[in-house]
Structures are given as C-alpha cells and as structure tokens.
Amino acid sequence: MRAIQIQEFGGPEVLELVELPDPEPGDGEVVIEVARAGMNFADTHQRHNQYLAKAELPLIPGQEVAGAAGGRRVAAMIPNGGYAERVAVREADLVQIPDDVTDDQAAAILIQGLTAWALLEISARVQPGESVAVEGAAGGTGTMLVQLAKRMGARVIGLASAPGKRELVERLGADATIDSRSPTMTEDLLAANEGRPVDVIMQISGGESFERQMEALAPFGRMVTFGIATREANQIKTSSLMRTSRAVIGFWFVHLLQRPDLLRDGIAELLGAVASGELEVVIGSVYPMSDVARAQIELAERRTQGKLLLDPGA
C-alpha cells in the first residue's frame, strides 16, 4: 500500500510517500480501505515532535479516516496511521457512517467536530445568551464552533485573519467578526460584543494573542485553550485569576477519548446534525497524498479554510 511515513523529525520534506506492506489485522481488528484521511494542525506539531504526546519513529501520521470495511461505510479515530491507503482499526472503534453523510463529511467531523462539541458543552459549559469568541473561526474546528455555539443560543464573535475567511464565518452565523491579527485585539473584542466583556473565549494560538484576549474576558468568564499555534506558552498567576474572577481551562482531545460515554453522545449529535443538514461541514481542500507536504505548509501558515483532507487513492 502507499502511505506517508516520517523517518526523522523536521520540516515538510520529511513527509515521504512510500510503499509499505498491507496492515495485518489483529484480534478484534478490521482493515479500512481509506477513502479520506483527515488533517489537523496538530499533525504539523507532531512532524517536529512538538506535540503534547511524543511520537516514535518511523511514523505514519493521521488520526482520523473514513472509508469501507467488510462492505460497510465506516469512520474511525486512531492513534496514528491515517495517511495511508489502508489501516487496521479495532472493531470497537468503528463509527457507522449514515447514508446521508459523505466520506468527506465523516472524516472531517470526527476530531474537529468532537473537539468543538466538547469545548462548548463540557469545558466552557456555554449557556444561552452568553457571548463566545472563536479564534481560528474559519478553520476546521472553528467553523464547527461557530455553528454549534449559535445552536446553543450564544452571541458568536469570529476571529479570522483575512476578509474572505471572515465572510465565511459570517455566512455560518457569526454575529460579528474581527481581524485575528489586529494590534487592538482587546478593544476589538469589546466593540464586537457591544461594549461588554466576553463570556467565553476559545483560544488556539497562545502568546501575545492570549494575553490581549484575556483582558477582554468578563468576570466569571472562561478562557478555553486547545492549541498553541505560536508555540509560545503562557503563564497565569492565581492572584490575577482571583482579582478578576476569570477561569482558564485547558483541553486535550486525548482525555475525551477516555470517556466513551461522552464520545457516543457527541458523535450521535454531530452525525445527526450533518445528516439533517443542520450542520455544515466546510471542506477546504482535498489533496492527493503526493501533495501532503504542500497541504501541511498551507495549514501551518493559516492559508486554508475549513477542513483539509487527503485522498490516498490520488
């Protein structure tokens, strides 16, 4: 089978297209013929071995796939191995794809859709009437956050770096949008929320943006961090949290995987909403596997919108 393999950590050039033996399923496993593999920003960190979980070489990246196994249309979240034509997956981890959901949608909704759902429902516990600011609002997770927060009755403010991205976010239902690279981020957030501090901020970049957004957070507000795109970690003093009655909450998808009860609820809600047309899955691009390096470069440089997918057959 064809696959993308990393044999040393580094830049996009370490993503090699190679021929490997087909996977042999173990007890309780099946082999998925991969139609689509999902790409995530975390993949670019993993390529440098800078992700929260350290990687071991050689490595086939990719943690979500959609395709066919045993005559069934299925999707799955996996530790690694998705950037390939075939992957062995535990039968217990298979997700049945509804007839009204495409392979593209299924591959796109698993990690980023579940992340958005958990950030809002579990971490931030968003209530109707609250305001929610979403950083990276035009990305795969961001487009889900915008739509799901609106479904929960929130006022949504989308942060995106380009006019075209902000237009997309507004089309998906955001009440206001601002430039995510603005030097007056705090003031812009307050203005976008009609002069009031923001109740919930979904933060993915870290660094200076984190500090500026924190200043716009309301008392009893929640800053939820689920990425460090700048690779600049922040430090928070407990005295500052006490003086402002603010909360900073971390989120790592691994801990959601350890809660099958929550996963079942989230997957059912998301796939149902996609099948009914209530939730739009924004597919930015589908790349042939030979273009994986270009795809990761564009993803890392934030030149993309929506979810990026790989087509292992191309």
| Domain-wise residue ranges, the chain | 2-97+282-311, 113-254
- Report the amino acid identity of residue 312: P
**Averaged over 185-205, what is the pLDDT?**
97
Arithmetic mean of pLDDT, 60-84: 96
Which SS3 state, helix, strand or coil, does residue 91 take? helix
The reported pLDDT for the residue numbered 60 is 97
Quick check: 28 pLDDT over 80? yes
Q: Give buried/exposed letters for 283-311 (b at 16+ CB in 10 A, else e).
A: bbbbbebebbbebbebbbebebbbbbbbb
Q: Contact, 310 vs 286, CB < 8 A?
A: yes
| Cα 98 from chain centre | 21
Contact at 8 Å (CB) between 303 and 313?
no
d(CA 26, CA 77): 17
State the pLDDT at residue 51: 75
Residue 119 has a pLDDT of 98
User: Which one-letter DSSP state was computed for residue 313?
Assistant: T
Token pair for 249: 């909450």
CATH topology agreement for domains 2-97+282-311 and 113-254: no
Q: Which CATH number, 3.10.129.10, 3.30.750.210, 3.30.1780.10, 3.40.50.720, labels domain 113-254?
A: 3.40.50.720
- What residues have CB less than 8 Å from 197, skipping those under 6 apart? 190, 216, 217, 218, 219, 221
3-state secondary structure of 112: helix
Q: Summarize the confidence of residues 139-161 as an average pLDDT.
A: 97
Question: Residue 8's pLDDT band (boundaries 50, 70, 90)?
Answer: very high
pLDDT recorded at residue 19: 97
Kindly give, in sequence order, each residue whose CB lies less than 8 Å from that of residue 6, ignoring residues fewer than 6 positions away.
14, 15, 16, 47, 55, 57, 58, 59, 60, 61
How many CB atoms lie under 10 A from the CB of residue 109? Answer: 30
pLDDT of 217 higher than 80: yes
Q: What residues does 217 pair with on adjacent strands?
A: 198
Q: How confident is the model at residue 45 (pLDDT cuts 50, 70, 90)?
A: confident
Which of these, 273, 288, 242, lies nearest to 17 by C-alpha position? 288
* CATH number 2.60.40.10 is the correct assignment for the domain at 2-97+282-311: no
What does the pLDDT read at residue 294?
Answer: 95
Residue 16, pLDDT > 80, answer yes
247-250 and 217-225 beta bridge pairing: parallel
Q: 112 and 69 in contact (C-beta within 8 Å)?
A: no
pLDDT in tens, 251-305: 999 999 999 899 989 999 999 999 999 999 999 999 999 999 999 999 888 888 8
The answer to whether 150 and 116 have CB atoms below 8 angstroms apart is no
Q: What's the mean per-residue pLDDT of the chain?
A: 95
Average pLDDT of the segment spanning 96-116: 95
Query: Residue 124: which pLDDT band, with cuts at 50, 70 and 90?
Result: very high
- Return d(Cα 13, Cα 20) in angstroms, integer: 19
